[in-house]
Amino acid sequence: MQRRSFIALAAALATLAGATAPAHADALETIMETGTIRIAVPQDFPPFGSVGTDLQPVGYDIDMAMLIGERLGVDVEIVPVTSANRIPYLQTDMVDLVISSLGKNAEREAVIDFTDAYAPFFNGVFGPDSIDVGSVEDLDGQIVGVTRGSVEDLTLTDMIGDGVTMRRYEDNNGTISAFLSGQVELIATGNVVAAAILERDPDIRPEIKFLVQDSPCYIGLNQGEDALKAAINEIIAEAKTDGSLEAISMEWLGQELPEDL
């Protein structure tokens, strides 16, 4: 397998180059030696991770974890975590990677390292094909449903002009119901919510019109694990070009990957 030998080579090079690496053993080396990679995944955040009918976690993040294991040629040990303890799991070396719909911010960057983005996570305006809206300017005269007080509500309200009517619902279910019953033709929401609507295979399909706010998901790993990071980035880049990430996105989000992910 060329790919594996490449990764082994990359790992070897990285190990050589990483003379300044921390005192503990290089994570990638350990993974290759033990033949197991431990990956933290969510189990309470569909479609990224939820408990399937056989009580095993399923979702975008789990598929991503399996893809990484497969490409590294090692077994994957799935470790279910919550959004509150996913970073402590990494810091205490309970897992090698966190694939748990993790967004990047300065606070987190101070304590852990991130690979390249592997999943789209954004708020945007969604609506059926029949409505021609491509930017916030086009919204003039339209009615947009949104969940009151959500990030997309606050962000979009600042962006729009007076000609736009916002209908604010109590929670995501209200917004979804209003959209599905045709009470509003456009909704501002997260791509995950749109995916949840698409999963029901409705007559009116929410297609993305434009982005309101983009904060894609990254894989988290410990700082100083440059070899592992390089190897994972290589896998992500490859998965983006060979269509395997696209397939995961289609399966769990019902949408193609954004161009700029």
Partner 1 sequence: MGYQLNFGWIPQYMPVLLHGIGITIYLIAVGAVAGCILGIVCAWTRALGPVWARPPVAAYVELIRNTPFMVQLFFIFFGLPSLGVQMNELQAATLAMIVNLGAYSCEIIRAGIQATPKGQFEAGASLAMSRIQTFRHVVLIPALQRIWPALSSQIVIVMLGSAVVSQVAAEDLTYAANFIQSRNFRAFETYIVATVVYLGLSILLRFALDALGWVLFPRRKAAR
The residue (of 2 and 181) whose beta carbon lies closer to partner 1 is 181
Site string for partner 1, 40-79 (x = CB under 8 A): ----------------------------------------
CA dihedral angle for residue 111, residue 252, residue 248, residue 191, rounded to 10 degrees: -60
The residue (of 134 and 202) whose beta carbon lies closer to partner 1 is 202
Minimal distance, residue 158 CB to partner 1, in Å: 11
Minimal distance, residue 177 CB to partner 1, in Å: 5
Q: Which two tokens stand for residue 9?
A: 């080579």
d(CA 162, CA 110): 41
Beta bridge partners of 76: 37
d(CA 114, CA 219): 6
Phi, psi of 150 (to 5 degrees): -75, 165
Is position 205 an interface residue for partner 1 (rule: CB under 8 A)? Answer: no
Is position 5 an interface residue for partner 1 (rule: CB under 8 A)? Answer: no
What single string gives the DSSP state of each residue in 45-57? ETTTEEE-TTSSE
Residue 99 CA: distances (Å) to CA of 64, 81, 87, 115: 8, 10, 10, 10
Minimal distance, residue 239 CB to partner 1, in Å: 39
Minimal distance, residue 167 CB to partner 1, in Å: 4
**Residues 172-201, interacting with partner 1 (CB under 8 A):** 174, 177-178, 181-183
Quickly tell me which residue has 């974890």 as its tokens. Answer: 65
Minimal distance, residue 133 CB to partner 1, in Å: 20
Is position 130 an interface residue for partner 1 (rule: CB under 8 A)? Answer: no
Best CA proximity match to 103, nearest among 91, 81, 118: 118
Best CA proximity match to 210, nearest among 123, 121, 117: 123
**Count of residues of this chain found to bind partner 1 when the rule CB under 8 A is applied:** 15
Site string for partner 1, 143-172 (x = CB under 8 A): --x--xx---xx------------xxxx--
d(CA 248, CA 222): 25
Phi, psi of 128 (to 5 degrees): -70, 160
Minimal distance, residue 154 CB to partner 1, in Å: 8
d(CA 107, CA 55): 33
The residue (of 22 and 182) whose beta carbon lies closer to partner 1 is 182
Minimal distance, residue 9 CB to partner 1, in Å: 54
Is position 128 an interface residue for partner 1 (rule: CB under 8 A)? Answer: no
Which residues would be at the binding site for partner 1 (CB under 8 A)? 145, 148-149, 153-154, 167-170, 174, 177-178, 181-183
